[in-house]
Amino acid sequence: MAHRSTTNDVTTNPLASALRAQARALEAMADTIDAEPPSTSDSTVRLISRVELLDRLGISSPTLLRQERRGLIPSVKIGDTRRYDLQAVLEALANAPPEVTDNGQVICLSRRPKRA
């Protein structure tokens, strides 16, 4: 059986050279990420579900849907679901005019009455 000569010289192996180049690139990226100053602005938006918004506002689903149709409650559609930025919703409701019915009754977003 003939003995095959293999060279494991890492300096001439193209695969090893490519891996070393990738490692250097990853290290450079990591250094860049570490060097970036932390963000001082609070730009993180937490989107919540319809159920969570209903619970937080203490309103019924029909009331939420009515206010959405009127354009008073901002939402974001993600796939087949809607998500809400609670802070944006609270600001929108604080600036919203009261809803008035045809007979002059003022409707506002109020908490659902607790059931006994």
73/50 Cα distance (integer angstroms): 11
Contact yes or no for 29/21 (Cβ under 8 A) = no
Which of 74, 98, 69 has the alpha carbon at shortest distance from 88?
74
What is the distance in angstroms between the CA of the first residue and the CA of the last residue of the chain? 91
28-45 tens-digit pLDDT? 766 666 665 555 555 678
The whole model's pTM is what? 0.51
Residues facing residue 48 across a β-bridge: 84
Domain ranges for the chain: 47-107
pLDDT tens for each residue of 47-101: 999 999 999 988 899 989 988 888 888 999 999 999 999 999 988 888 877 766 6
The CA-atom distances, in angstroms, between 23 and each of 17, 35, 43, 48 are 10, 18, 32, 39
Nearest to 54 by CA among 98, 14, 89: 89
